[in-house]
Structure 1
Amino acid sequence: MTTTPKASRAALARDRLLRAATDELAETGELEVAAVARRAGVSVGLPYRYFATRSGLLIAVLDAFYERLGQAAALRVYDAATWADRERRRVRDWVTALYAEPLAPLVLGGLVGDAEVAAANTRHLHLLIELGARNIAQAQRAGELPDDRDPELLAAATLGGTNTMLSVALSRTPRPSAEKVITELWTAVRGTVGLPS
């Protein structure tokens, strides 16, 4: 008989709670710790052991959401000859990931939480803007984008527009096709960064 180390059991319990919290939030739009515990099949006190507070649990759910988005698109390195080709792929992957992500409408629409949760979301957005600014600056240095614009402001405008466009698309019934959103979003990104025709 093999035994699971205590750390592994703890990691499994934490992951089970995160999955339950994600499912609860996606299905109900609310995050009550007792409901998460019931869904995970654990005692009401266990979520507090791993996350300390309801806000801590919400932040962990938010962190996991952004980690999935990072793996799907934001942190990916694309092998293509031009910035435009790489970013067109990133836009496609970004939209595809968020269309498949049950929490996307809530997070992009303004996840409800306290100041601590809002600050965590802002930290994630600033990291995405920083990544985008480095990406744009690199394309400017390579002569693929006009270099007379501020890369950080362009990244902020691109991310803000992307999130707003997807928030609207995800809230519609029926949703526009992902392909339509990808096309519209790429057109907006091209215009925002000043990509030459």
Structure 2
Amino acid sequence: MDKRSALIAAARAAMIEQKGNVEIGDVARRAGVSVGLAYHHFGSKAGLVAAVVTEFYDRYDDIVMQDMGRGRPWLERERERLVRIVDFLFHDPLTPIILGQLSGSPEVAQIEFGRRGKIIESAAWVIERGQEKGELDPSLDPYVTAAIFTGGLREACNRWIARGDPPDAELFVSRSWRIMAAGLAPKN
């Protein structure tokens, strides 16, 4: 592992252990490098936090952008994607920190803004493909629908996680999917 990656891993561990708090000196010590090297790589504590948040969203994107088998029915494939997204968000220890207490910080808000746009674009593309195949309501605007579902999903996850007790991921997926599938189904 290179030193930059070691610093990000150390910062991630510190943020988890300290509920979002992180100090560059502690992270450098954990990574076995000098404080100066940490500043060299990230410029500031905010830069280090941004790197951890970016790494979190890179892992999230790997799940969201995963090819789920294009030959399968749209609803089946996208329900599986929802299961994977919820599993990631409910089980990654950084989720309550990034979507919770750090969500209002400028460095996190900036990263989230860019990532949400990318997620909405991807979801709209997937919805358009489902409409082309006749599996989804063709009257829906793909971008508005994608924004509603992805934003709503994120906020619903955030609410369940904020409760403090581990949410039941299966129940969450089942209820969420029932709403999503009903909203996307072709009208007869």
Task: Output the TM-score relative to the length of structure 2.
Answer: 0.89
| Equivalent residue, structure 2, for 1:174 | 165
Q: CA deviation at 1:163?
A: 0.8
| Equivalent residue, structure 1, for 2:91 | 100
| Alpha-carbon distance between aligned partners in 1 of 2:46 and 2:162, rounded to the nearest angstrom | 25
Cα distance, 1:192–1:43 mapped onto 2, change above 3 Å: farther
Q: CA deviation at 1:196?
A: 6.4
Spell out, residue by residue over 1:147-173, the C-alpha distance to the aligned partner (whole angstroms, 9 max, x if none).
111111111111111111111222223
The partner residue of 1:142 within 133, 150, 153 is 133
Cα distance, 1:191–1:36 mapped onto 2, change above 3 Å: farther
| Alpha-carbon distance between aligned partners in 2 of 1:169 and 1:91, rounded to the nearest angstrom | 15
Structure 2's unaligned 5+ residue stretches are none
Task: Output the TM-score relative to the length of structure 1.
Answer: 0.85
| Equivalent residue, structure 2, for 1:4 | none
Query: Cα RMSD between the aligned structures?
Result: 2.0
Letter in 2 for 1:119: Q
Cα distance, 1:15–1:176 mapped onto 2, change above 3 Å: same
> What SS does structure 2 have at the residue aligned with 1:76?
coil
| Equivalent residue, structure 1, for 2:10 | 20
Report whether the alignment pairs 1:57 with 2:48.
yes
Q: How many residues align?
A: 186
- Larger relative contact order, structure 1 or 2 (CA cutoff 8 Å, min sep 6): 2
Cα distance, 1:141–1:187 mapped onto 2, change above 3 Å: same
**1:146-157 correspondence to structure 2 within 5 Å:** 146-157=137-148
Are the counterparts in 2 of residues 55 and 114 from structure 1 also a CA contact under 8 Å?
no
Larger displacement relative to structure 2 (145-154 or 41-50): 41-50
Q: CA deviation at 1:110?
A: 5.6
> What SS does structure 2 have at the residue aligned with 1:154?
helix
> Segments of 4+ in structure 1 off by > 6 A?
none
Spell out, residue by residue over 1:129-149, the C-alpha distance to the aligned partner (whole angstroms, 9 max, x if none).
110011111111111111111
Report whether the alignment pairs 1:74 with 2:83.
no
| Alpha-carbon distance between aligned partners in 1 of 2:162 and 2:17, rounded to the nearest angstrom | 14
